[in-house]
Structures are given as C-alpha cells and as structure tokens.
Amino acid sequence: MQVSSDVTVVAQKLHKKYVLNPNGSEFGFSRKSKKNTVHAINDVSFVAHRGESIGVVGHNGSGKSTLFRLISGGESPTSGGVYVSSEPTLLGVSSALQPSVSGRLNVRLGLLAMGLSPDEVKVIEDEVCAWADISDAIDRPMKTYSSGMKARLVFSISTAIKRDILLIDEALSTGDGAFTARAKVRMKEFLDEAGTVFLVSHGAGTIKDHCNRALWMHAGEIIADGDAFVVSSSYVRWSKATSRGDINLADELINKARSSYQKPNIVIG
C-alpha cells in the first residue's frame, strides 16, 4: 500500500504481548515460575487519514485500550511499528490529574505538561476552565468531583491544544447530554483542522454519531474496518447474539466480518 501525505497514523503488523507471573505481576518472576502470556494485540495493521473520525468497538478485553496506548506511545509494541505524523493526545477517564488540588490548578498543570510555557498557559487557562463549565467547582479539589465533572475537565484540558491525532478512550461515557453535544462540536473542530480522532466506546450509538469509520477488534485482531454505521451495526448484532447465548449466530457474524475484511499490506521505506 502506498502511503500518502494525508496519513496521520500507520500501524504495521502490531503485536503486543504481556508476560505475567502467576500472581499477575509483569515483573520479578523466577526461572521456575510458570508464565502466562496474553496476546493483547495480534497482527494489527491500518492506515488513518486526516479528517477521519475512527470508532473502535469490541467486547471487554479485545485490545482497544492497548491499541490506544501503542498509538499514543504510552507503551511499545512487542513487534511491528506505529508511525504518527505528530505527537498524539490520549484522553481517557483515568487521565492523570491531581485529585487533591483544584480544577483550576489542574488546568495549569495539565497545560504545562502538554508543553505550553507559563505565559501561554495564562492566555488560555480561563477559556479552558470556562469550557469545562463546572461553575464554582473549578476552585474545589478535584477529588470532590463527580465522574461527569472530571470528564468535562479532562476533555477541556486535553483538547485545548489542537493536535493532529486525538485518542478518546471512553471519556465521553460519563458526561451528560450537554457535555457530549459540546464534545462533538470540539471533535468536529479537530476534524475540520484536518486532524484524526479515534474514539473507543461501548455505545454503538456514540460511534455512529461521532465517527465516519470504525474498526471492530476481536481477541486482539481487527476483524472489520469500514463505514462506522455498517461496522458498529454488525458489532451490535454480534453482541446481542452473544448475550442471548446464540453461539452459532455469534460465530457466523464473526466469520462473516473476518471474511469481508482485507488486512492492508503496508510497506514502509
């Protein structure tokens, strides 16, 4: 596959393997201890372009968050490569903020951590606090926030600086309707400025609403990549069949998705 200049992310034959000792920790096993190996990501390849909003669906443990950590550079792949046009922003419900200090101070710390100078922080901090729209709570310690209030603050900080690649891992799920509507506008601003947004959500409606393309991950692999409505509808049919215990239909839907999916063959260099 030829890679063009509107490409923001290339994932090439990505594998991520975790090796654990029997008590579940990643480190400190002796030679004698029995190791468990988890193949969280298995031969994943795709190319993302400017202006694409890519939903990632898949059941629990299918590898969505691991994929995001690999794209954002938070973790390294065991093999394969991720190539990005610029540094991505990973926005998740567990994004690291300081619980004991106020929302306002977290805004300052977050913007400094994103590489702004103290003077640049001063210019935009009020706007970032205002976007979060949590009124007086902005001056209260973050540990007193509801999950929706925290989501608003994290979203506001992480999207304050426009980057080419924005990864949102379930961070929209705790917000109310007003927040998700405004988040959608902000995501559109990213896309209009020719960025790429990736969005993990268990809600197919959220994916259909916010995305124009979707990847379906199953057991660490991509088994479908295409139109967001089509892919998330197939995923919903599979989820319903699985929860009803209709294993035959569930297998049929997985096989159908796999057989229509063509893995891209990416050659770098």
Quote the tokens at residue 39. 């193949």
CB-CB contact of 27 with 182 (8 Å): no
The nearest distance, CB 124 to ligand ATP, in angstroms, is 32
Residue 58 binds ligand ATP, judged by CB under 6 A? yes
Looking at beta carbons only, is 62 or 89 nearer to ligand ATP?
62
62-70, 96-104, 157-165, 255-263 -> range binding ligand ATP (CB under 6 A): 62-70
- Total number of residues that touch ligand ATP (CB under 6 A): 13
Residue 63 binds ligand ATP, judged by CB under 6 A? yes
Residue 93 binds ligand ATP, judged by CB under 6 A? no
The nearest distance, CB 4 to ligand ATP, in angstroms, is 29
User: Can you say whether the dihedral through the CA atoms of 97, 101, 104, 110 is positive or negative?
Assistant: negative
Residue 124 binds ligand ATP, judged by CB under 6 A? no
Q: Which residue of 6, 7, 20, 191 would you call a contact of ligand ATP, by CB under 6 A?
A: 20
Residue 65 binds ligand ATP, judged by CB under 6 A? yes
The nearest distance, CB 66 to ligand ATP, in angstroms, is 3
Residue 64 binds ligand ATP, judged by CB under 6 A? yes
Residue 7 binds ligand ATP, judged by CB under 6 A? no
Which one, of 48, 54, 82, lies nearest residue 217 by Cα?
Answer: 54
User: Rule CB under 6 A: which of 29-48 touch ligand ATP?
Assistant: 38, 40
55-63, 80-88, 222-230, 238-246 -> range binding ligand ATP (CB under 6 A): 55-63
Looking at beta carbons only, is 19 or 112 nearer to ligand ATP?
19
d(Cα 23, Cα 15) in Å, to the nearest integer?
23
* Relative orientation angle of helices 247-260 and 228-244, to the nearest 10 degrees: 160
Rg of the Cα atoms in the chain: 20
Looking at beta carbons only, is 175 or 220 nearer to ligand ATP?
220
The nearest distance, CB 1 to ligand ATP, in angstroms, is 25
The nearest distance, CB 61 to ligand ATP, in angstroms, is 4
Q: Give residues in contact with ligand ATP (CB under 6 A).
A: 18, 20, 26, 38, 40, 58, 60-66
